[in-house]
Chains A and B, each alone.
Chain A
Amino acid sequence: ETGVTQTPRHLVMGMTNKKSLKCEQHLGHNAMYWYKQSAKKPLELMFVYNFKEQTENNSVPSRFSPECPNSSHLFLHLHTLQPEDSALYLCASSQTGGSNQPQHFGDGTRLSIL
Chain B
Amino acid sequence: ILNVEQSPQSLHVQEGDSTNFTCSFPSSNFYALHWYRWETAKSPEALFVMTLNGDEKKKGRISATLNTKEGYSYLYIKGSQPEDSATYLCASDSNSGYALNFGKGTSLLVTP
Are B104 and A41 in contact, CB atoms less than 8 angstroms apart? yes
A42-B4, A100-B49 known; A106 vs B100 contact (CB < 8 Å) = no
Residues of B within 8 A of A42 (CB): 4, 89, 101-105
Are A56 and B99 in contact, CB atoms less than 8 angstroms apart? yes
Q: How close is A2's CB to chain B, nearest CB, in angstroms?
A: 5
Q: At the interface, yes or no: B19 with Cβ under 8 Å from chain A?
A: no
24 A-B interface contacts by CB (under 8 A): A41-B104, A42-B101, A43-B89, A43-B91, A43-B102, A44-B102, A45-B101, A48-B98, A50-B98, A90-B44, A97-B98, A99-B31, A99-B99, A99-B100, A100-B51, A101-B49, A102-B34, A102-B49, A103-B46, A103-B100, A105-B43, A105-B45, A107-B42, A107-B43
Q: At the interface, yes or no: A55 with Cβ under 8 Å from chain B?
A: yes
Flag A12-40 by CB within 8 Å of B: 1 or 0 each. 00000000000000000001000000001
User: With the chains together, A67 CA to B19 CA distance in Å?
Assistant: 42
Residues of B within 8 A of A50 (CB): 98
Are B102 and A99 in contact, CB atoms less than 8 angstroms apart? no
Interface residue range, chain B = 20 to 34
Instruction: Mark B residues whose CB is within 8 Å of A.
Output: 4, 31-32, 34, 36, 41-46, 49, 51, 89, 91, 93, 96-105
Interface residue range, chain A = 20 to 34
Q: Which of A58, A99, A102, A108 has the most CB of B within 10 A?
A: A99
User: With the chains together, A42 CA to B38 CA distance in Å?
Assistant: 13
Q: From A96, which residue of chain B is reached at the shortest CB distance?
A: B98
Residues of A within 8 A of B49 (CB): 100-102
Q: How close is A98's CB to chain B, nearest CB, in angstroms?
A: 6
